Amino acid sequence: MFIRQINDRTKISLSVPQYADELFALTDKNRTMLRQWLPWLDHTKEPKDTRDFITAQLSRFTESKALHTTIFYDDRIAGVLAFNTIDSQNRAGHIGYWLGSDFQGKGIMTECVKDLMKIGEDFFSLERFEIRCAVENSKSRAIPERLDFQNEGTIRRAERVYENWYDHIVYGKIKSC
Ligand SMILES: CC(C)(COP(=O)(O)OP(=O)(O)OC[C@H]1O[C@@H](n2cnc3c(N)ncnc32)[C@H](O)[C@@H]1OP(=O)(O)O)[C@@H](O)C(=O)NCCC(=O)NCCS
């Protein structure tokens, strides 16, 4: 498959339907943790839902509208990282991510986001990268902060995740800044 080696133990690959069973198993195992921050868990009930999602993302990839990747750590699926949206007109990529809890605390996501931005520059001519995090999501916020994104402000009541409303901090980074 289309793999990028990030370091000795970590690689990312374009997400393909063949990953769906393992990716769904990881999602299911981490459902409670993920459900705190992500709104799609209740629509992801069986491997077919993950397969359908990957297929839809691949279709958007063919139109240069998104890029969904799967992260592997020691050849096990560890999580996902994506340009959820590629805004070609404005040369901007909107980044989203999650990791299974067994794979957190190792610097995996920070390294992979760095590489995704390089892909964005090299293949999609992106010049702006954006990550939106709930104010309370300190682990997610730490990633753009570690990578020297700027805090560009807060969107109030930006997202409803089940019973909770979250304000979002918008983190932005301009190419080579
Ligand atoms: C957001 C999320 C991916 C962050 O995971 P993470 O493991 O903290 O992030 P990284 O892989 O970059 O690892 C950073 C951690 O590894 C540690 N680390 C170890 N080696 C490191 C290295 N070489 N480089 C950077 N960090 C390293 C850091 O100290 C940090 O740990 P700490 O929080 O205890 O200080 C994860 O918490 C998650 O999936 N959350 C649920 C979904 C979610 O919130 N998604 C985002 C929605 S906006």
Taken as a whole, the chain contains a residue count of 177
Model pLDDT, residue 2 = 82
Where are any strands of DSSP class E within the chain? 3-5, 10-14, 67-73, 76-87, 92-99, 128-134, 150-161, 164-174
Asked whether the beta carbons of 69 and 81 are under 8 A apart, the reply is yes
Q: How many domains does the chain have?
A: 1
Q: Is the residue at 96 inside a domain?
A: yes
**Which atom of ligand 1 is nearest the CA belonging to 110?**
12
Question: Which amino acid, one-letter code, is at 138?
Answer: S
Residue 73's DSSP bridge partners are 10, 76
Q: Is the residue at 66 inside a domain?
A: yes
Tell me how far apart the alpha carbons of residues 171 and 88 are, in angstroms, rounded to a whole number.
19
Residue 166's DSSP bridge partners are 159
Q: Is the residue at 75 inside a domain?
A: yes
Per-residue pLDDT of the chain (177 residues), as tens digits, is: 689 999 999 999 999 999 999 999 999 999 999 999 999 999 999 999 999 999 999 999 999 999 999 999 999 999 999 999 999 999 999 999 999 999 999 999 999 999 999 999 999 999 999 999 999 999 999 999 999 999 999 999 999 999 999 999 999 999 975
24 lines ligand 1 (CB under 6 A): no
**Which atom of ligand 1 is nearest the CA belonging to 143?**
12
Please enumerate in sequence order all residues whose Cβ is within 8 A of that of 163, keeping only pairs 6 or more positions apart, or say none. none
**Tokens coding 18:** 């063949």
Q: How many CB atoms lie within 10 A of CB 157?
A: 9
Residue 163's DSSP bridge partners are none
| Local structure of residue 107 (DSSP, 8 states) | S
Tell me how far apart the alpha carbons of residues 2 and 61 are, in angstroms, rounded to a whole number.
13
Full residue range of the structural domain in which residue 35 is found: 3-131
Q: Is the residue at 109 inside a domain?
A: yes
Q: Is the residue at 25 inside a domain?
A: yes
**Which atom of ligand 1 is nearest the CA belonging to 133?**
48
Q: Is the residue at 147 inside a domain?
A: no
The CATH number of the domain where 44 resides is what?
A: 3.40.630.30
Q: Is the residue at 169 inside a domain?
A: no
Asked whether the beta carbons of 128 and 175 are under 8 A apart, the reply is yes
Name the closest-CA residue to atom 13, ligand 1. 107
**Tokens coding 130:** 């954006």
Q: Is the residue at 108 inside a domain?
A: yes
